[in-house]
Amino acid sequence: MSDGPRYRRVLLKLSGEKFADDDNSISPQIVNSIAAQLVEVAGRGVEIGVSVGGGNIFRGTSPQAAGMDRSSADNMGMLATVINALSLQDAIEKQGVDTRVLSAIGMQEVAEPYIRRRAIRHLQKGRVVIFAAGLGAPYFTTDTAAAQRALEIGAEAILKGTGVDGVYDRDPHGAPEATRYSDLTYLDVLSHGLKVMDATAISLCMDNRLPIIVFELLREGNIWRVVDGQPIGTIVHA
């Protein structure tokens, strides 16, 4: 008899860019395919929270924001994450799984406020919980919010969905000799500046021994493979 999946509660970090294709800042096909993977995993009894970014729409540090007050630009970035969260919510619910968007910025007509105990309760009821608006404070990123929320809800791992199937020693595009790491320590990531999550997020994970699994998001079934403990991607740990 199977012992069930490796992880029972996880936090998926979804960058805003993952919502986009060449023509749309939010691609319905992509959002539907991500939703389908989440529906599959939730259907197998795994509790899953998603921390969404906003970089496909606006980032406080982007050239678009040049000359703006940084806090205002960051507020715009946080609102961008809410737009992505609502699109993901719609796609998941169309596929029959309940969700809640919990926003770190108050906007009760659109989303519930983030309350830790409520988030956990939603997870226990099988709802996919989508964390929007990062930490609700400027000068942070949704990577850091993902780490912080994962710790608060007691997630056993952060799943970082990317465009390639893990972390490589150099950019694998056009470099056939690039080698994928199967595992790395937090210090490897920090000292070599490897692109996993930003340094604040990595430090938070390191301090709390929260593993991060970097994997290729848009390959059907991959979220389940990671949750199931199959050896894909790169795991970052102590």
Binds ligand UDP by CB under 6 A, chosen from 87, 142, 162, 222 = 142
Q: Which is nearer to ligand UDP, 25 or 33 (CB)?
A: 25
Is residue 208 within 8 A of residue 156, CB to CB? The reply is no
Alpha-carbon separation of residue 70 from 65, 67, 73, 75, 76 (angstroms)? 8, 8, 5, 9, 10
What's the min distance (Å) between Cβ of 163 and ligand UDP? 13
What is the torsional sign of CA 138, 82, 216, 206? Answer: positive
Q: Report residue 28: phi and psi, to 5°.
A: -60, -40
Annotated binding site: 13-16, 54-55, 59, 74, 135-142, 162, 168, 171
**DSSP-derived secondary structure letter, 187:** H
Q: Which is nearer to ligand UDP, 136 or 221 (CB)?
A: 136
Q: Could you give the angle at which helices 142-153 and 199-208 cross, rounded to 10 degrees?
A: 20
Q: Pick the closest to residue 14 from 93, 101, 122 (CA basis).
A: 101
Binds ligand UDP by CB under 6 A, chosen from 107, 137, 151, 190 = 137
Beta bridge partners of 11: 49, 158
With binding defined as CB under 6 A, does residue 162 bind ligand UDP?
no
What's the min distance (Å) between Cβ of 180 and ligand UDP? 22
What's the min distance (Å) between Cβ of 70 and ligand UDP? 8
Q: Pick the closest to residue 127 from 89, 83, 81, 85 (CA basis).
A: 89
Beta bridge partners of 78: none
What is the torsional sign of CA 103, 52, 12, 170? Answer: negative
Site string for ligand UDP, 13-32 (x = CB under 6 A): --xxx---------------
Binds ligand UDP by CB under 6 A, chosen from 38, 50, 135, 147 = 135
- Token output for 12: 């998926």
Binds ligand UDP by CB under 6 A, chosen from 10, 47, 59, 202 = 59
What's the min distance (Å) between Cβ of 101 and ligand UDP? 15
Number of residues that bind ligand UDP (CB under 6 A): 24
Is residue 65 within 8 A of residue 73, CB to CB? The reply is yes
Binding site for ligand UDP (CB under 6 A): 15-17, 53-55, 59-61, 73-74, 77-78, 80-81, 134-135, 137-138, 140-143, 145
